Amino acid sequence: MPEPTLRLFADIRELIEAARQRVAHVVNAELALLYWHIGHRINTDVLEGKRGGYGQEVVKSLAGELTLHYGKGWGERQLWYCMRFAEVFEDETIVNTLCSQFTWSHLRILIFMANPLKRAFCAEMCRLEKWSVRQMRERVQSMLYECTAIS
């Protein structure tokens, strides 16, 4: 292939790859926001903040219907993740920001941190240092927050 054609190919390839990355980012953000809305709806409209046997039955039944219509990605575990997400991050404005900055896998790590200060610290460090999910998990397990707080 002649040199000008090779450069043109390389430029077009970069455009395609950049567009793919932007689309993937938008799709991930929209999915995470969908998960929050689902969790929020279950928490407020169905369970009214209650747990226990009734809540488990609602989630189990809902998961069965969703799985039937949308596939195995909508099982009970996913619904509990959605509910936890909406419980931990109640403000939709904050959720919109989080969804634009993190993947669902990052968010799932954050939602199981009991300490809100640790959660905020890890989210900010992840955002600033652009941690992968693996890096985030390693930093949390290495007790980075606790070590930083001590020093």
Q: What was the pLDDT predicted at 74?
A: 96
Confidence of residue 53 (pLDDT cuts 50, 70, 90): low
Q: What was the pLDDT predicted at 51?
A: 62
- Cα atoms in the Cβ-side hemisphere of radius 13 Å centred on 110: 30
DSSP code for 91? -
At 9-44, the pLDDT tens digits run 999 999 999 999 999 999 999 999 999 999 999 998
Domain ranges of the chain: 3-90
Confidence of residue 114 (pLDDT cuts 50, 70, 90): very high
Global pTM value: 0.85
Residue 105 to residue 137: CA distance in whole angstroms: 10
Is 96:26 a contact under the CB 8 Å cutoff? no
How confident is the model over 45-64, as a mean pLDDT?
A: 79
Residue 106 to residue 126: CA distance in whole angstroms: 9
